[in-house]
Structure 1
């Protein structure tokens, strides 16, 4: 009797779990799994949004177009390097390739050429943005969390103020920062002129290839730090206060308590914040679309922006889907590696 009752309870519980999970699984299948399968299918076709030609199967042509690269070295001739056209004419295998990166060492120029060089420049820009925004945003979020975790008057007000940019539309925030970073009339340059006493000072924050991407990273860190602040704040409040008291009794100063109590207590929180922030950084699109349109000289073009431009502006859905799927694989690998390194970090 007991076994039969237990079995029935197990079946009822499984049915309850399935009933609760069904709506979520249906949404996941409709908005995640199905689009992913459709995109994967489109990568093997020449599908376009508007075209008189019917969609046809082209096999791996899109992948060959995206992943084909050539590395070569070019020597100086009569004091200067030959042009890319001259190099391509001398090497027939480079037909259809264009330089993505080049590096000069002595009298030799090393060139990475690709059929789609903008994809590789966009990939490098995406990783550079992640490298810039990760320490900036996560460091600011942790500092703010420690600050608003203190028992000070007005801490609720400051929590609200620091979180406010998160609920602001990214489009609105990007437009506002475009005005702030304006070369001639921007508030940031006006403040710098006053502080440095140089009325001629006018950095071109969004028009310089070396400043545009760091400027977007600064704006993105400002907009997103509030969310990570709340996550860190929850982690800080989960650390037993007795650990800080014990460390204080043992003579630990504030920095030692931070290193030996706070950071170990936030280990899982830090892993979550790093992984989530990395995923958000890899999805950079809105800021670029509003503030720079991928310029100047493609210095802010990202993989997502490149895929959207290929898929919708140029209406090449098949190739845009290929970019998306390859980038999804790269991001998945980076996330798994990050998670694995973070998981091993606490093992002795």
Structure 2
């Protein structure tokens, strides 16, 4: 006997409630649901504008997979519902504090513990496998490694909104949510999108040391420190390098300054807590890393993906900005490194160190 529409809706609501309960049991802190047929053309339009302006820089994989990224059904036509999931990675202390420590490196909060891809994907697979066993539906899991636009989809599912810095903001967890998604053939009721609660605040735009935001809700990745330290493989121009301060992997400034972080809490996922050796490590010690020691230090960490040479390039920049006389011998040594990009960046950093020996505010702004 076929079900009446009201019975179908009740069944779908019960299914969604069970999924939420199971997601919480898996350790997810936020869960929301949207439907593929509710994702409009504005998602693709924003992506097209971003790339047309060249703001994606050298991230050519965005161009190569643009068609599949425009809509979740372009990636998987059979998908009916999207379950957006968030895992809190709130830090124990303010990430901005390390920027004043000239001899120390600032590593983005998300990269101070275990690689989140490994942790989130394991939980996603467990949840998706349970769903398949319960209802026989098809499922696919995604965590930042496939052409899926997790931030706008998470906003559509109601677990946060994209702030003026284009990152997701949560009323419950502030800036600190790792995002994952499960696409499924299940028909599930959609949650309402979260409203934008940025108001007149522009703190995230104003704090950016490289001025990477042309306007609210717009990012030019070519000027973003996260892009420069992670995605960009060449020699970083002096103008941008000096503004980077001691940030050697990623940047948390626009995230950390957000007023919504007053509701943030320390992550309950122990593997996300900062490893002592990655919590403001000494720059001079990092400068001595060869390929083997780099791999040993970052073997299960997100930093490993940029490789030793790009990492040491970033360390050179921080040493050049440090104002420390003792940084000069380390940079002179790196001027003879086997890597061309390290040699070139070390030479520029040495010039910066000698020129600004009297120091400069580590945030990238004049004192």
TM-score, normalised to structure 1's length? 0.24
- Structure that is richer in helix per residue: 1
**TM-score (normalizing by structure 2):** 0.23
Structure number with larger C-alpha Rg: 1
